[in-house]
Amino acid sequence: MPSSINRFSTSITRPCLIQFNRIGRAILVLFLFSCSTIPLTQRETHPGGESAFPPRYSLIFIIHGDGNYRYHDTGGKGHEADAEALKGAIRVAQQNLQAEVFIFHQIPRKHTLLFFPRRDGKFYYYRYGQMLAKESYRRHGSSRFDPEMELYHRFRAGEPTQQMKFFLYFGHEIPELGGEGYDASYPHRMFTVHDLADGLQQITPDSSKFDLIVLSTCFNGTPYTVAALAPYTRILVASPDNLHLSYFNLHPFEQLDVGLRDGDVAGFAKNFARQAFDRLTDDIQTAVTVSVYDMDRVPRYVQSVASVYQHALAALKDQKRGSFEHCDCAEDSAYVLPGMSEGVDVFYRPPRFGRSKHKLTHSGWECLRLLK
Amino acid sequence: MKKRTVFGVLVLMLVLVQAGIAADKEDIQKYFNDTACKVKATTDPIQKREILNKSLQTMSVALARVERSGLIAQEDRAVIDNFKATLQEKQDELSGSNGYERVTDAQLNDFSDYVVQDMEQAGRYISISLIAALLIVIILVLL
């Protein structure tokens, strides 16, 4: 090749090669950071949080944020429901000086430079009101809550059997079948009530129960969900009907020493449900329903309607999206059985508009039916 | 310089497409929220009613056009049909037709909140696909 052409081609390619080398090294470094498996978390730890006594209360918050959680208040201002729930959980953690609090915030998976996946979970650990750890983690494992459970077992203090234990979940309705698409970042991943139950079992492998579980979701006050969670808790608070994305107010949890001074968890749960109901009915025009289920008293009814509900689920399994709807179980005679209201306290206000505005009561149980 | 420019434009397009897809479902919520804000911004009940009716009607037209476009999946049709039906019920209630009590002048602000909040429940993770949402937003812009 003539030397002039050599010199010309070299003068063009050499700066490009240098540039690509620099870019290539930068990409390699970013690749190694984002894909490294050891460690899976980025960690900040803080000193302090010591006491002569183990924490009296243990609270676990799982806040799902990998989806559309946008809502607007009556002033027109937009909010992200998961960010608001996180603020509430952190306030609870800071105010309870006798508690250890685990907060898991499941966020959308983003990418660095469009190709390198970033961590999609944030973990906060508080003990005696102080934040002791803040970590980012990756939300994948052989079962849904493996990463969260690994962090929980690594950080927990005190003997679980001697603590009052609370579990709170914030997110969209947890499906009872199917469950694909619950996580916007993982459209083929499935999440159902049974995955939640499996996670709860990992927290309480010794068969001890939570004192209270709160599901701040829509439509999870059903015989099926209650049956699935009954082995893991004494009391459940859930919304059988729609729940606005502003969720349940956490204020009663900010002072557990006050709210639980006589150890009455059932009374605390009813007070929590009442306050959540009162706050929602102030501004919300859609239906507001909050139910408290005593898991010692509801099994008889739940078992009596189990096969009917299972048949309904099986019938709906192959139906298209939008072909079925939720309804009050009291509107279907198959579910109106003795003991339906036993062990259930219901706080209900109908929607201010729409066809249901004249529906004055709610059974506290939600069912499914095919649309006509 | 030209290579850098081309590379930068490609990256920007990819980022905007990603952000755009994420925002489309929120755009539909924002549409109704903007309606509620306009309703509350006026004291004239006739104007309030007209704003609400026009907003519901425009969204219904957009949904109908998306359905007729032939570009959406079959499973989206049932969801869009339900969406259209709920919008029609709200229009009926606004006007007092089809067995509904007419929304009174004093209730119009609350009714506009009801329309917004009905979209923003913690049970709507199963919704229309991104393609359908994108088409609805595009048609709303064009109408």
In a domain, A352, yes or no: no
Contact of A135 with A43, CB cutoff 8 Å: yes
A25 plus A144 within the same structural domain? no
pLDDT of A68-113, one tens digit each? 899 999 999 999 999 999 999 999 999 999 999 999 999 999 887 7
pLDDT of B83-98, one tens digit each? 888 899 999 999 999 9
Report the gap between the CA of B94 and the closest CA in chain A (Å): 10
A206-214 mean pLDDT: 91
The confidence band for B142, taking pLDDT boundaries of 50, 70 and 90, is confident
CA–CA separation, B83 vs B60, rounded Å?
9
CB contact (8 A) between residue B121 and residue A243: yes
The confidence band for B140, taking pLDDT boundaries of 50, 70 and 90, is confident
A164 plus A47 within the same structural domain? yes
Q: Which of A173, A286, A322 faces B82 most closely, judged by CB atoms?
A: A322
Q: Residue B45: how many CB atoms within 10 A of its CB?
A: 16
The confidence band for B18, taking pLDDT boundaries of 50, 70 and 90, is low
Q: Using CA coordinates, name the residue in chain B closest to A171.
A: B122
Give the single-character DSSP code of A145. Answer: T
pLDDT at A93: 98
The confidence band for B67, taking pLDDT boundaries of 50, 70 and 90, is confident
CA–CA separation, A97 vs A126, rounded Å?
9
> Which tokens is A159 given?
């003997």
A16-22 mean pLDDT: 53
**Secondary structure element (H or E) that encloses residue A10, with its range:** helix A3-35
pLDDT at A22: 61
pLDDT at A9 over 70: no
Contact of A155 with A125, CB cutoff 8 Å: yes
Rg (CA), chain A: 25
CB contact (8 A) between residue B29 and residue A352: no
> Which tokens is B63 given?
């949904």
A92 plus A30 within the same structural domain? no
CB contact (8 A) between residue B113 and residue A283: yes
Q: Which residues in B104-125 are b (16+ Cβ under 10 Å) and which e?
A: eeebbbbbbbbbbbbbbbbbbb
In a domain, A169, yes or no: yes
CA–CA separation, B118 vs A356, rounded Å?
13
State what percent of residues in chain B have pLDDT above 70. 77
What is the 3-class SS of B29-86, one letter each residue? Answer: HHHHHHHHHHHHHCCCHHHHHHHHHHHHHHHHHHHHHHHHCCCCCHHHHHHHHHHHHH
Q: Does B118 touch chain A (CB under 8 A)?
A: yes
Contact of B46 with B80, CB cutoff 8 Å: no
Q: Which of B34, B93, B122 faces A353 most closely, judged by CB atoms?
A: B93
Write the DSSP assignment of A221-272 as a string of letters: -SHHHHHHHGGGEEEEEE-SS--BTT----GGGGGHHHHTTT--HHHHHHHH
A14 plus A139 within the same structural domain? no
pLDDT at B122: 60
pLDDT at B81 over 90: no
In DSSP terms, which residues pair with A212 in a beta bridge?
Answer: A166, A235
Residue A247: C-alpha distances to residues A3, A81, A173, A290, A348 (Å): 75, 8, 12, 11, 15
Residue whose structure tokens are 């309705």: A173
pLDDT at B139: 76
The confidence band for A39, taking pLDDT boundaries of 50, 70 and 90, is very low
The CATH code of the domain that includes A106 is: 3.40.50
pLDDT at A26: 56
pLDDT at A34: 46
What is the span of the domain harbouring residue A244?
Answer: 39-297
Q: Which residues contact A57 (CB under 8 A, 6 or more apart)?
A: A96, A98, A99, A100, A163, A164, A165, A166, A256, A260
Report the gap between the CA of A47 and the closest CA in chain B (Å): 38
pLDDT at A197 over 50: yes
A6 plus A77 within the same structural domain? no
A10-32 mean pLDDT: 53
Out of A61-70, A147-156, B34-43, B61-70, pick the least confident. B61-70
pLDDT of A348-366, one tens digit each? 999 999 999 999 999 999 9
pLDDT of A296-314, one tens digit each? 999 999 999 999 999 998 8
Domain spans of chain B, in order of start = 24-142
A144 plus A84 within the same structural domain? yes
A3 plus A50 within the same structural domain? no
Contact of A68 with A174, CB cutoff 8 Å: no
Q: Residue A46: how many CB atoms within 10 A of its CB?
A: 12
Largest CA distance in chain A: 99
Contact of A367 with A340, CB cutoff 8 Å: no
pLDDT at A229: 97
CB contact (8 A) between residue B26 and residue A68: yes
pLDDT of A158-168, one tens digit each? 666 678 999 99
Q: Report helix, strand or coil for A351.
A: coil
Q: Which residues contact A249 (CB under 8 A, 6 or more apart)?
A: A88, A275, A276, A279, A280
When scoring A247, A321, A355 by the number of chain B Cβ atoms within 10 A, the one with the most, hence best to mutate, is A321
Q: Which residues contact A105 (CB under 8 A, 6 or more apart)?
A: A63, A65, A82, A86, A121, A122, A123, A124
Contact of A62 with A168, CB cutoff 8 Å: yes
A166 plus A213 within the same structural domain? yes
Domain count, chain A: 2
Provide the mean pLDDT of chain B: 82
Provide the mean pLDDT of chain A: 87
pLDDT at B44 over 70: yes
pLDDT at A23: 57
Contact of A362 with A340, CB cutoff 8 Å: no
* Chain mean position to CA B133: 9
A154 plus A281 within the same structural domain? yes
Q: Does B31 touch chain A (CB under 8 A)?
A: no
CA–CA separation, A240 vs A338, rounded Å?
19
**Secondary structure element (H or E) that encloses residue A176, with its range:** none
Taking each helix axis from N to C end, the angle separating A146-155 and A193-203, rounded to the nearest 10 degrees, works out to 20
pLDDT at A2: 44
**ipTM score for this prediction:** 0.82
Show residues of chain B in contact with A285, CB under 8 Å: 110-111, 113-114, 117
pLDDT of A262-291, one tens digit each? 999 999 999 999 999 999 999 999 999 999
pLDDT at B22 over 90: no
A108 plus A190 within the same structural domain? yes
Taking each helix axis from N to C end, the angle separating B108-119 and B2-41, rounded to the nearest 10 degrees, works out to 140
Out of A171-180, B8-17, B40-49, pick the least confident. B8-17
pLDDT of A243-262, one tens digit each? 999 899 999 999 999 999 89
State what percent of residues in chain A have pLDDT above 70. 83
Show residues of chain B in contact with A243, CB under 8 Å: 121-123
Q: Report helix, strand or coil for A365.
A: coil
Q: Residue A51: how many CB atoms within 10 A of its CB?
A: 12
Out of A138-152, A281-295, B121-135, pick the least confident. B121-135
Tell which of A241, A264, A297 closes a domain: A297
CB contact (8 A) between residue A352 and residue B93: no
CA–CA separation, B110 vs B115, rounded Å?
9
In a domain, A347, yes or no: no
pLDDT at B115 over 70: yes
The confidence band for A334, taking pLDDT boundaries of 50, 70 and 90, is very high
Taking each helix axis from N to C end, the angle separating B45-68 and B2-41, rounded to the nearest 10 degrees, works out to 140
B22-48 mean pLDDT: 89
A191 plus A52 within the same structural domain? yes
Largest CA distance in chain B: 67
Show residues of chain A in contact with B131, CB under 8 Å: none
Residue A215: C-alpha distances to residues A65, A139, A211, A355 (Å): 15, 21, 14, 27
CA–CA separation, A66 vs B96, rounded Å?
39
In DSSP terms, which residues pair with A215 in a beta bridge?
Answer: A169, A238
pLDDT at A137 over 90: yes
CA–CA separation, B109 vs B107, rounded Å?
6
CB contact (8 A) between residue B122 and residue A181: no
The confidence band for A36, taking pLDDT boundaries of 50, 70 and 90, is very low
A84 plus A29 within the same structural domain? no
State what percent of residues in chain A have pLDDT above 90. 68
pLDDT at A25: 60
CB contact (8 A) between residue B122 and residue A81: yes
